[in-house]
Structure 1
Amino acid sequence: MPRRRIGFWYRFAAVICKPPLVVLIKRDWRGMEHIPAEGGFITVVNHNSHVDPFAYAHYQYNTGRVPRFLAKSGLFKKGFVGAAMRGTGQIPVYRESTDALSAFRAAIDAVERGECVAFYPEGTLTRDPDGWPMTGKTGAARVALQTKCPVVPVAQWGANELLPPYAKKPNLLPRKTHRVLAGPPVDLSRFYDREMTPELLKETTEVIMAAITRLLEDIRGEKAPEKPYDPRRERIEQRRRTQAQSGRERTQAPAGKEQESGT
């Protein structure tokens, strides 16, 4: 299947974005041979900085297979931003859809047209305190199982040193290095032609996230935590801690009042 031309809008964006990226960060890019030369595929990438979509897009742009990122459908509707999103071929996600697969219909269509769709499977910036990938959401797994396309895991590190997660000011000096490592496609064949249950999607997503994490271990030269950070589990634990603290305060309050009345 022929791949889509890069087009005016993507080249225009590259002209604007590449010069500051070249100035601000050095590059240590590996694994470009794993980016398919033809046909539709998915890349699944860890997310640890508001800068890394631009830095990663620069990496993949240089392979000749530009990534089409997923974004909220509302961004495509009006003004210059909407024109740029449409012109660069970014992928709208229809979160208002009641059918989870329909929410990713545009991504499925793009893969079937021979495009590369870039997923941040964590869904947001990692909240792991040490920057490791969190548990993933199932969107990439849904598209992968529906299309049976190659799923290329990619790890990146360094943009987060330029602009840490949730930071407001960049750390410009010393000049940071953006490290990217793409690996061979994840083997998901054992999940094909099975009912797309929540359990299957969860298992598929865990396999995808494990592949990304192994690549990041290679980049960082250290082991990731045995269990990935799970925001939902952390919220539950935080709620329990808050409730336990409130309970202790309620049980201690009467004793304190009695002491005050006896003085």
Structure 2
Amino acid sequence: MSRRRIGIWYRLAAVIAKPPLLLLFKRDWRGMEHIPAEGGFITTVNHNSYLDPLSYAHYQYNTGRVPRFLAKAPLFSVPFVGMMLRGTGQIPVYRESTDALDAFRAAVEAIERGECVAFYPEGTITRDPEMWPMAGKTGAARIALQTRVPVIPVAQWGANLAVPPYAGTDKMRLFPRKTLIVRAGPPVDLDRFYDREPTPELLREATEAIMADITALLEEVRGEKAPDEPYDHRKARAEQRRKAAGEGKK
């Protein structure tokens, strides 16, 4: 499958976004050699700031292989933002609706056309108190096992220091200039999962393999060891409800 052109809309987005990124931030980019030069592929990226999609998109744009993100459907209704998302070929995700499978089909079709589809496997900005990747959702693994294209793990750090997650604009810390670190690794080894029934257990195992490679890259970036057990937001919420119910009975 040949390399797909970047296109005028992505170039327009770059003209708008790159100048402030270059002005406000330093960059530490590594691992671009792992981004395939040809054919469809998947990237799986950790998510720690509202800013990090721009940081990561800047990184990959400079490789010549632009990502197609899966973005929440309501964003496509926002004036100008929606126009840019549609123009650059981003994929709307409709949660809890009959259109939910459309994102899956669109992602597979994009990959089969030779494009890159970027996933945030955590599904949202991490809730881990120390900003490590959370337990991932299985969508990226499901598409990877169906298409058998390379899955490139990507770790990023630094956007969260400038624009902390779940914080107001008064918490932004643009100065002194922060360094946006993006590091891609070699493809995740998923061979042991091919030619097997995609059961929920198998998809969880494949997802854990993907998240393990992302986390290992982030450990290199941060120079720290991640927790042995990734933070699971659903389990944490269930525990909070259990505790609240217990306190309510006292």
* TM-score of the aligned structures, taking structure 1 as reference length: 0.90
Q: CA deviation at 1:77?
A: 6.4
Percent sequence identity over aligned pairs = 73
The residue aligned with 2:221 is: 219
Task: Give the aligned length.
Answer: 248
The residue matched to 1:55 in structure 2 has which SS? helix
Deviations 1:210-237 (A, max 9, x none): 1000000000001001100000110111
The correspondence of residues 93-172 of structure 1 with structure 2, limited to 5 A, is 93-96=93-96, 103-169=103-169, 170-172=172-174
C-alpha spacing 1:80/1:171, structure 2 compared with 1 (3 Å)? closer
| Segments of 4+ moved more than 2 angstroms | 72-83, 92-103
- Residue 125 of structure 1 aligns to a residue whose secondary structure is coil
Residue 89 of structure 1: how far off its partner (Å): 1.2
Query: What does the per-residue CA deviation read over 1:188-228, in whole Å, with 9 as the maximum and x for residues that have no partner?
Result: 01111211111111111111001000000000001001100
Of the three residues 185, 188, 192, the one matched with 1:186 is: 188
1:72 CA drift (Å): 3.0
Of 78-87 and 92-101, the range deviating more from structure 2: 92-101
Q: Greater CA deviation, 75-84 or 167-176?
A: 75-84
Rounded to whole Å, the distance in 1 between the matches of 2:244 and 2:19 is: 48
Rounded to whole Å, the distance in 1 between the matches of 2:115 and 2:84 is 18
Partner amino acid for 1:221? G
Paired amino acid for 2:180: H
In the TM superposition, what are the counterparts of 1:1-263 in structure 2 within 5 Å? 1-76=1-76, 80-96=80-96, 103-169=103-169, 170-248=172-250
Distance, in Å, in 2 between the alignment partners of 1:205 and 1:95 is 20
Query: CA offsets per residue over residues 145-172 of structure 1, 9 Å max, x none?
Result: 1101100000000000000111222101
Unpaired runs of 5+ residues, structure 1, are: 249-263
Q: Choose 72-81 or 126-135, whichever is displaced more.
A: 72-81
Q: Structure 2, unaligned stretches of length 5 or more?
A: none
The Cα shift of 1:75 comes to 4.3
Alpha carbons 1:94, 1:103 under 8 Å: kept: yes
* SS of the residue 1:104 aligns to: helix
Q: Is the 8 A contact 1:93 1:106 kept in 2?
A: no
**Distance between the aligned counterparts of 2:55 and 2:237, measured in 1?**
31
CA displacement 1:67-95 (0-9 Å, x = unmatched):
11011345446854333222111122343
Q: Which is greater in Rg?
A: 1
